[in-house]
Structure 1
Amino acid sequence: MIEQKQSQLANIELWKQWKEEGWVPAKQSLIESYLPLVDYVSSRLAIGLPKSVSKEDLSSFGVMGLIDAVEKFDYARGLQFETYASWRIRGSIIDGLRQGDWVPRSVREKAKKVEDAYQKLEQQYLRSVTDAEISAYLQVSETDFQQMLQDISITTVCSIDDPIREEDSETRLSLLVDEKAKNPEFQVNEFYLKDSLAKAIERLTEKERTVVSLFYFEELSLSEIAEVMCLSPSRISQLHSKAILRLKGVLGRFKNQLFQDS
């Protein structure tokens, strides 16, 4: 955190030169100074992706996201550029991969079926359902279900540039607004969303909660988490997929309730 603040302060003059004076060399210097962010984000996303996806492709997509972030970032708001840019880089990489049709339609259909199964069964039982229950619902063996999780592990990432609803132009990024600008309706919805997510996380198994915590809060890679938990990387990938699909199910119910009430 201290290093990030020092980096922000060190670059403040470059931000002023670029944003206030439009000096292109300053923009180029900013991009070069934040290039390590691209390597960091692309390395994390590379875990679990097919071997056919090259690190060079990920970096190329990421650089485009970094450039976009530098062009759109408002340094005067006092926000952390590294956080904002990381989201932009991640979104750019995922969007680039999707445009390259990196996930077969059959795999996306599997992911949708599993997500729907978690949503329906956990709403029905009001608890975290077991692999056996999901397998029975999907009419597959538990071994086949584990293979499904492995197959769809590469789909459990999302871009904040994705629309919230397919028919809308509003994206997840549009919800990342200034805290001071929130209206009452937004605050109420956000409260219930956080409450729903907190309850959903409580329903995760202990191992799933640990994976989510280490990956999203401690920012460890899946391979590093595997070492910490003494499990194989493929097992960690499965736990991550199950956790995300459970949480997506909760968000799906929240979205349906939100739009029904609106």
Structure 2
Amino acid sequence: MYTAKGTLERDDQLRKYSPLVHRLAHHMIAKLPASVEVDDLIQVGMIGLTEALSRFEPSQGVQFETFASQRIRGAMLDELREGDWMSRGSRKLQKDIELAVHRLEQRLGRPPKETEIAQEMDMSLADYQQTLARVRGTQLVYLEDMGGRGEDEDHFLDRFLPADAEDDPSAVLGDQRMRRSLVEAINKLPEREQHVMSMYYEHDMNLKEIAAVLGVTESRVCQLHSQSIARLRAKLREH
């Protein structure tokens, strides 16, 4: 049971950190299909914030905002998993793109161009780009589920790696291999796609801000992001 004072303090904390929930929800919604409502993410994010307030221990040596961000993002991901938010057809399209990229990389020995991927999939460039927009969201769990390690980490690649390091030497070795493979794969992305990934994951820029920097539309940024993830997943299939 909470005292009246404790309840008021909890309410003050919820109000103080509610902008964090909104920011995380709007950042995540950009990678999701139009059928997902940002208000739904905010609602479950507030539940995650409440849980974070209950469980946070300053002695853990992390800032509350870092701890709360993980709880909030986790609550949103759990809700998305339970809601089965991505259609089977979209998942198949994502896999088809990955396989096309993989085949082309094997043949060409370099990252394929968009036009080459479209041709490999027997599509026009316009149809392929529309497909990239359709699969937006299939990559969410792939990156977000691998969680962040905290604001004290400099490189955005750390956000792609497991939050909890295992003591098992074989698990540690596997994590190191994953890290090396992912770093190598991202370094081999076309330069523009590297910029998109860095701005989005390292600098927490939204689609509108990235579009302004690149001089393209927000929908084009979505396409580049989806294509980047397809390239990464195709590359990591080899490991």
Return the TM-score normalized by structure 2: 0.78
Q: Which residue of 2 aligns with 1:192?
A: 177
Gaps of 5+ in 1: 1-17, 163-171, 255-262
Q: Which stretch shows the higher mean deviation, 56-65 or 129-138?
A: 129-138
- Residue 250 (str. 1) matches residue 229 (str. 2): no
Deviations 1:175-207, CA, capped at 9 Å, x for gaps: 4126xx644333322222221112111211111
Distance 2:49 2:98 in 1: 32
For the aligned residue pairs, the C-alpha RMSD in angstroms reads 3.1
Distance 2:161 2:51 in 1: 15
For the residue of structure 2 that corresponds to 1:34, the secondary structure is helix
Q: Which residue of 2 aligns with 1:66?
A: 49
Deviations 1:38-65, CA, capped at 9 Å, x for gaps: 0110111232544443332121121122
**Number of positions where the alignment pairs a residue of Structure 1 with one of Structure 2:** 222
Aligned 8 A contact 1:152 1:241 in 2: yes
Distance 2:120 2:32 in 1: 28
Distance 1:119 1:66 in 2: 40
Return the TM-score normalized by structure 1: 0.72
Aligned 8 A contact 1:62 1:92 in 2: yes
Structure 1 pair 27–183 and aligned structure 2 pair: CA distance change class (3 A): farther
- Residue 57 (str. 1) matches residue 25 (str. 2): no
- Residue 157 (str. 1) matches residue 144 (str. 2): no
Name the amino acid aligned to 1:152. Answer: V
Q: Which residue of 1 aligns with 2:27?
A: 44
Residue 113 (structure 1) shift: 1.5
Q: Which among 137, 160, 176 is matched to residue 163 of structure 2? A: 176
Aligned 8 A contact 1:118 1:245 in 2: yes
Residue 98 (structure 1) shift: 4.2
Q: Which among 204, 219, 222 is matched to residue 237 of structure 1? A: 222
Residue 239 (structure 1) shift: 0.6
Q: Which stretch shows the higher mean deviation, 228-237 or 30-39?
A: 30-39
Gaps of 5+ in 2: 148-158
Distance 1:64 1:251 in 2: 34
Distance 1:185 1:34 in 2: 39
Name the amino acid aligned to 2:202. Answer: F
For the residue of structure 2 that corresponds to 1:248, the secondary structure is helix
Name the amino acid aligned to 2:79. Answer: G
Aligned 8 A contact 1:87 1:160 in 2: no
Identity %: 34
- Residue 106 (str. 1) matches residue 89 (str. 2): yes
Structure 1 pair 131–233 and aligned structure 2 pair: CA distance change class (3 A): same
Distance 2:53 2:108 in 1: 47
Distance 2:194 2:73 in 1: 23
Structure 1 pair 189–48 and aligned structure 2 pair: CA distance change class (3 A): closer
Aligned 8 A contact 1:64 1:89 in 2: yes
For the residue of structure 1 that corresponds to 2:62, the secondary structure is coil
Residue 32 (structure 1) shift: 4.0
For the residue of structure 2 that corresponds to 1:108, the secondary structure is helix
Structure 1 pair 49–176 and aligned structure 2 pair: CA distance change class (3 A): closer
For the residue of structure 1 that corresponds to 2:72, the secondary structure is helix
Distance 1:244 1:69 in 2: 30
Aligned 8 A contact 1:91 1:161 in 2: no
